[in-house]
Amino acid sequence: MKMSLKKIAKALLITTFSSAMLMSTAHANNPPPTIKADAPNRYIVKKGDTLWDISGRYLDSPWRWKEIWATNKQIKNPHLIYPNDILILCVIQGKTLIGVDTGEGCAGIEKQLMGDVTASAVTVTSTANSIPPIPWSAIQHWLDKTIIVDPQDFNTTPYILASKNRNLITASGDKVYAKGVPLIVGQRYGIYREGERYVEPKTQKVIGLEVTQVATGLVTSTESNGVTSLQLTDSYGKEVREGDRVFVELDNAIPPVFYPTPASVSRGGMIVRVMDSISSAAKGSVVAINLGSTHGAKPGDVLTVYQKGPLVRDIRDNDTPVRLPNEPSGMLMVFNTFEHISYAYVLDSELPLNVGDRLLKRQIQYKVLR
């Protein structure tokens, strides 16, 4: 059935009006982050602070810290904070903001915020000694030598056949022999130990293999029978064993600076492993989640952890079991991503967090006028 031009125009007008009302309502239901009632007007940054800790001193929603940070346009890395910096709470043009006091108080912050900047006036600041988003000591082990690879690719790489002295190798300078695809003489290679396999809970498909680099070796010769000789140049706290794999050292670097921010992943996920533990995770723990770069996960992403609601019996309906809603139980921040898996640091937890707990990105709820 065809619609008249008048009806089409009326429909478009209603749609436009409804969209405007929705946007207006959405804005009204997305107010600025709430400043804590006991937030300090002045805070001196200490060594050992983290960006998350500092954000938590001022905000009820620390992941929204950027919305109140008074960015200094004269600084290339304007979000860096250093020990002994003095943070002050200011109201600038009707907005509550936090900035670094340069000696002029809120007037100085307003000048930095509003001043015109030319390219030559921008100062490049070093990330060295800046306040990290989360404690580096808690995640260092999972940054340095541990990576997640494709299991099929891993199984095609050369493997350690034996050592020159036919024993375990614990120091640099020893010689080992690998068998498999010939390696390049003069090239450095990593020697990796197979670890945890990660399985997608719904499909039971293996989606990643965790491997840890135990040593680095320099190829000194190759033989026609596929045996390669390597001189160990570095070892990393573990012996080299027969069966360890050899391949080009992989760069496991994360961005030098990242900040807590609401995640923009394409789907929800879950905790699939609690690292260094067989039980539950709490604040300060590291976990593995089944969200990776293919799902849009990136360092700094903040996700909410939900625990599955318990089953209760409805006494007014013949004791029929009813599942209660999932409840938020904590928050975590991604700090290292791979294709299908990421490592994340637990920022807060109201309850112990367990394998199987659900993950959702922070969402702002918009109310629609009817």
Q: In this structure, is residue 25 part of a structural domain?
A: yes
For the chain, how many structural domains are there in total? Answer: 4
CATH assignment of the domain containing 303: 2.40.10.410
State pLDDT tens for residues 199-257: 998 899 999 999 999 999 999 999 999 999 999 999 998 889 999 999 999 876 677 77
Q: Tell me, yes or no, whether 35 lies in a domain.
A: no
CA nearest neighbour of 221 among 180, 188, 183, 191 = 183
Would you state the pLDDT for residue 338? 94
Write down the pLDDT at residue 127.
Answer: 73
Which residue among 85, 102, 131 closes a domain?
131
The token pair that represents 109 in the structure block: 């912050």
Given 247, 279, 306, the domain boundary residue is 247
What mean pLDDT is predicted for residues 154-180? 86
Query: How does DSSP assign 197-216, residue by residue?
Result: EEE-TTT--EEEEEEEEEEE
Determine, yes or no, domain membership for 37: no
Asked if residue 252 is part of any domain, the answer here is: no
pTM of the model: 0.81
Tallying the residues shown for the chain, one arrives at 370
Name the β-bridge partners of 175. Answer: 231
Indicate whether 369 belongs to any domain: no
Pairwise pLDDT comparison (351 vs 368), residue with the higher score:
351
Instruction: Based on the fold, state whether residues 21 and 87 are members of the same structural domain.
Output: no
Range of the domain at 275: 261-361
The radius of gyration of the chain from alpha carbons, rounded to an integer in Å, stands at: 27
pLDDT band at 160 (very low <50, low <70, confident <90, very high): very high
The Cα–Cα gap between 250 and 147 comes to 8
Reported as type and span, the H/E element at residue 14 is helix 5-28
